[in-house]
Chain A
């Protein structure tokens, strides 16, 4: 049942007439459900803001939360629920902050019993329900964007490209390699090759728990792309189990150099670049 213009006016009148009493009761109910995780001053500020927005909307003759008079109210609700979502409150706790006005309003209207009280309350109640649902939706949206941000951060964190030596970069892969991550790794590695002008790259898969045909395909593509650009890739950190899996699956690495450990790969690259270690020189001279 939608709110009529007359009822909206009555709601606004009721709200502004008993402002202090209503907000105090409202704060009390909400504070009980939040168990002191939000300071009382902060809560009072939010409640008063919400109270003012509802009263204004009622005065303008709001019929439905989605109509043009509800813009201000929607903005206030969205701000409150987004903040709550960021601060880690649950959806119920956030929704109660809105629904508590119903209890406070009911107590008030019981005392001021008039002929249209029931009808009015049902209409107010439907507006408040809409407000609650809107809060819930905003809450979920805020949470989802939070999760998306974190997933992106995780993706960036998990694919560092490090410089091992002059002209040698390495990508230590940790965790499962899916298509999205493989794409990021590939782009990041190739870009680093261009930026640093390194002709050698080592892809270390020590931290990859399992290598199936798809993962191998991604790694091979990266290696071929690097070759097209004029850089050579070495795959290192192949654990015994993974070596067995690779052979069992019939994956061919062709003429791509594979090494058991990162140290072996670095040694291999240094030999290719002509860097001479003291150990090797000693061996040659003896």
Chain B
């Protein structure tokens, strides 16, 4: 059975989907990814679908599920590299990838995750300062 490799780059896990997904591959990927997120403590997941010619409702649901699982484990999911033809088809079919963030390429995806982590840290720091000043 084919398995999708999961690469770790710094604080981010990178998943490149290069083959058409079957039910089993998808389930296996979800399990592997959940394990890796817990094992590595990463806070970002990038799913690269540059190689996919067809994104149907099955792949769409798989992406949604992965995003939800990652969310529970406090990791943000970004889908990158969607082809124009795929995007047009999805729009024509009326499928929208709800709750999934997208970026043009892996680089932009990493920036996006870095930016949202930075926001979180800012918020935490500001909260700390507030509490310090509030309770001297």
Contacts and interface: CB of A to CB of B under 8 A. Distances in A.
Given A221-B91, A224-B91, A224-B96, A229 B84 contact: yes
Contact of B87 (A197, A198, A199, A225): A225
Interface stretch (A44-52, A132-140, A188-196, A262-270): A188-196
Given A199-B103, A228-B102, A194 B84 contact: yes
Contacts, number: 58
Looking at A224, A226, A230, which has the most chain B CB atoms within 10 Å of its CB?
A230
Interface stretch (B104-112, B116-124, B127-135): B104-112
Given A194-B104, A197-B108, A198-B104, A230 B88 contact: no
A285 to B, nearest CB: 22
Interface in B78-100: 78-80, 82-84, 86-88, 90-92, 96-97
A48 B108 CA distance: 68
Contact of A197 (B78, B82, B84, B104): B104
Contacts of A194: 83-84, 104
Contacts of B78: 230
Interface in A213-239: 221, 224-231
B103 A230 contact: yes
Contact of A228 (B90, B105, B109): B90
A194 B78 CA distance: 16
A3 interface: no
Interface string A197-220: 111000000000000000000000
Contact of A230 (B86, B92, B102): B102
Interface of B: 78-80, 82-84, 86-88, 90-92, 96-97, 101-105, 107-109
9 contacts: A194-B104, A197-B107, A199-B103, A221-B91, A224-B91, A229-B83, A230-B101, A230-B102, A230-B103
